[in-house]
Structure 1
Amino acid sequence: MTSENFDNHTIFDRLNSLKEILENEEVKEKIDLEKLSYFQTVFSYINQRVKLTIPDLIQQTELDSLSTELDAGISQINSFLGNTNAGHLTNATNNFIAAINRIKNFPIPVAKADFNFSRKIAEFEKIAKSKYKSLEKEKDELQAELTNFKTDLTTKETEIQRLIKLIEGKETEIQNLNSTFQTDFNNIKSEHNQNFENDKKTYRAEIDKSKEQFKKEIDELKNSIDTDTSTLISKLETKLSEAKKLVNLIGNVGITGNYQNIANSHKKSANFWRVTAIVFMSIFSILLVWTIIDLSSEGFNWTKSLIRLIAAAALSYPATYAARESSKHRKLETINRNAELELASINPFIEGLSDDKKQIIKEKLVEKYFGNNRNNDFLDTKEEGLSIPAFEKILSAISKLKG
């Protein structure tokens, strides 16, 4: 290892750090004298051995190992200063022992040993005096704190005695108040019980009286309700009978009203077809009369007469159809009006009969008026209009008149 590398090695920084820590006042106060002296001796020994080491004969790894052990020991001392755990000092001691074992193997000149035990003793005495002063200072501080504590304790004791006397006075006062309260409470309780018994008797009498009165009123109300209920039931039965009659009347009006409407409709249709038939028949008659009158004239024209007769014959068919439709609607009008009159008069007619007979008669009327299709029987009746034979007879009559 070269001298330059040796001079720049971190071992010297570690030694300086250890020296600064051991000279710190906090370290001197917290670490006991034996440990502190040991650490000082370790520093002096290692520092002297490093200074005497021959750089050319030592290996880089040996210095690195020594530096590592010193750094670990310094870290343990710093940890102790942080939490005052004695285990850190033990670990630091072990690290320094390992460092001593390593530095023993460093090559040094035999004649250069300058370790001075007298100076070491003087330094130990100096450290001991410093430690003693620190202990004296700590003792004075503890003495002052103890004096203050005694003074405060005396003050607190005086205050406690005063509070005890005050509590004793309050206790006597509370006992007196309790006795007075108990006496007043017993008096009030006795008076309240007496008043309660009196009020109880009064209320019982009033309740019994009210009970009898309520019972009497309830009986009267019950009798009144029974009487009113009987009257009300009788009235309701009367109204029910009237309602039944009214319902029957409304039903009859509804049924007969429909028949009346149908009859009126057929009446209008019959009148319409009657007017239509009269119109066609009038035209037919006019044509016939015109043809007959034309027969007696000098300039008789068979062609015109034939056309008139054909036109008259053609008009006979709608006239016949209109007359037949008018007759049909007239018959339907008559049937519906008869049904209306019969249905409207059936209830007054059977009013005096029993309900069973009324029901039998109504069942027969149902068979008569509903679902028997008797109103359409006349539709099968055929009426003849002006037929071809009738038309030939008319032509024959006209020829005879011409001859």
Structure 2
Amino acid sequence: MTSESFENHNIFDRLNSLKEILENEENKEKIDLEKLSFFQTVFSYINQRVKLTIPDLVLQTELDSLSAELNAGISNINKFIGNNNQGHLTNATNNFNAAITKIKNFPIPVAKADFNFSRKIAEFEKTVKNKYKSLEKEKDELKTEITKFKTDLTTKESEIQRLLKLIDGKETEILNLNSTFQTSFNNIKSEHNQNFENDKKTYRAEIDKSKEVFRKEIDELKSSIDTDTTGLVEKLETKHSEAKKLVNLIGNVGVTGNYQNIANSHKESANFWRGFAIVFMSIFSGLLVWTIIDLSSLGFDWTKSLIRLVAAAALSYPATYAARESSKHRKLETINRNAELELASINPFIEGLSDDKKQIIKEKLVEKYFGNSKDNDFLDTKESEGLSIPAFEKILSAISKLKG
């Protein structure tokens, strides 16, 4: 490869990155001494070999392979710095060993090597001293922490002893309190039992006395009740008779109330259909009058008159239907009014009769009013059907004669 390509190759960036990592003080403290010395020696060896390499005799692929191994080793060292996993240092060592194998095959000039072992030993000694200082610092910190821990432990032990003594004192105090409480409880229990027995005897005497008083009062009350029983039974029989009459009146209201409601409903329907029939009859009459008046005019039009008559004939049907419905509901109103009056007045008329005759009359009324009434037979009859075809022909004939 050319000298220009060799100088611009990223192998030099990799060496600079490795140098920065190994010169960092924090990294030196984290990496153990053996590994750190090995990495420094690898950097020094590869750096010198690269500087001695003849660019024209080295291949691009060989230099790329060496750069890749160095990059892998640097990545593993960075990973170790991040998570302190020793496995990454082992992988970095393997990467650097592979890099050393590759760098050995690079062509260099045949001359005395400028590798200074004395200098390397001096650097190693310096590294060991720095590492020792770091260890001494850590030792002092650990010693301070241990001393502080011992002091704290002593304080805690003293506190524990104080608490133990306090607990012993509280235990004695609790035992004394328990003994005092037990003695007081026994005294109170004895006093309570004695008071309870005394109160029990007192209450028993009062109860016996009250029982005797109540027994005398009950006997007097029983005698009074026996005396008043006869008069009370007579009053109850009188009230019973009055209640029967009242129940009959209430029953009549319950029976006739539905007939009254039905009659009111038919009345409303009859009034509605009557108004409906009046409206259509008025329109029908208006059309006929208009047609007859139009016969006397000079510009008589048969077509218009015929349309008016047809319209009048069409209006006669709803008018007739409305009149028939109004009549039907009016008759049903009358029937229900009569039934209401008959049922409401039946009890006063039969009140003086015997119970057997009352029963016979009520059975006949049942046959008449409940399910066997024939007052609605008029619903099956047919009413007139409004303006029929023959009637319509007669109207047309009369109009023709008037026109002639």
The answer to whether TM tops 0.5 is yes
Write out aligned runs for 1:144-223 (5 A). Answer: 144-203=144-203, 220=221
Distance in 1 of aligned mates of 2:102 and 2:62? 7
Write the mapping of 1:115-154 to structure 2, written as runs, cut at 5 A: 115-154=115-154
Q: Which residue of 2 aligns with 1:102?
A: 102
1:277-297 Cα offsets, whole Å, 9 max, x none, are xxxxxxxxxxxxxxxxxxxxx
CA shift, 1:215, in A, is: 7.7
CA distance in 1, matches of 2:171, 2:239: 86
Structure 1 residue 34 and structure 2 residue 37: aligned?
no
- Could you tell which deviates more after superposition, 37-46 or 79-88? 79-88
Which one is further off, 20-29 or 193-202? 193-202
Q: 1:233 aligns with which of 227, 230, 236?
A: 236
Q: 1:207 to 1:128 in 2, by over 3 A?
A: farther
Cα 1:346/1:182, change in 2 over 3 Å: closer
1:230 to partner: Cα distance: 2.8
Are the structure 2 counterparts of residues 131 and 347 from structure 1 closer, same or farther at C-alpha, using a change threshold of 3 Å?
Answer: closer
- Structure-2 change in CA distance of 1:176 and 1:105 (3 Å): same
For the aligned residues, what is the CA RMSD? 3.9
Cα deviation for residue 229 of structure 1 reads 6.2
CA distance in structure 1 between the partners assigned to 2:152 and 2:359 by the alignment: 122
Higher alpha-carbon Rg = 1
Alpha-carbon distance change, 27 to 233 in structure 1, aligned in 2, over 3 angstroms:
same
2:86 equivalent in structure 1: 86
* Partner Cα distance (2:243, 2:28) in 1: 124
Tell me which moved more, 197-206 or 50-59: 197-206
**Is the contact between residue 52 and residue 112 of structure 1 (CA under 8 Å) also seen in structure 2?**
no
Count of residue correspondences: 268
C-alpha separation in 2, matches of 1:42 and 1:121: 14
- Structure 1 runs not aligned, ≥5 long: 255-342, 367-403
Cα distance change, pair 155–241 in 1 and its aligned pair in 2 (3 A): closer
* Cα deviation 1:29-57 (Å, max 9, x = unaligned): 12211111111111111111111111112
Aligned to 2:59: 59
Question: Residue 98 of structure 1: CA displacement?
Answer: 1.6
CA distance in 2, matches of 1:216, 1:5: 138
Mapped to 2, the partners of 1:58 and 1:214 lie a distance apart of 135
- Mapped partners of 2:223, 2:52: distance in 1: 135
Q: CA offsets per residue over residues 106-158 of structure 1, 9 Å max, x none?
A: 22222253222222111111111111111111111112222222222222222
Identity level (%): 74
1:15–1:43 Cα contact (<8 Å) kept:
yes
In 2, the alpha carbon distance for the partners of 1:157 and 1:243 equals 101
Query: Where does residue 329 of structure 2 map in the other structure?
Result: none
Q: Which amino acid aligns with 2:46?
A: I
Residue 8 of structure 1 aligns with which residue? 8
Asked whether the 8 Å contact 1:76–1:92 carries over to 2, the reply is: yes
**1:37·1:124 contact (CA, 8 Å) conserved in 2?**
yes
**In the TM superposition, what is the alpha-carbon distance from 1:59 to its structure 2 partner?**
2.1
Q: 1:347 to 1:175 in 2, by over 3 A?
A: closer
Q: Which runs of 5+ in 2 are unaligned?
A: 257-345, 366-404
Q: Is the 8 A contact 1:77 1:88 kept in 2?
A: yes
The amino acid that maps onto 2:29 is E
Alignment-mate amino acid for residue 171 of structure 1: E
**TM-score, normalization by structure 2:** 0.57
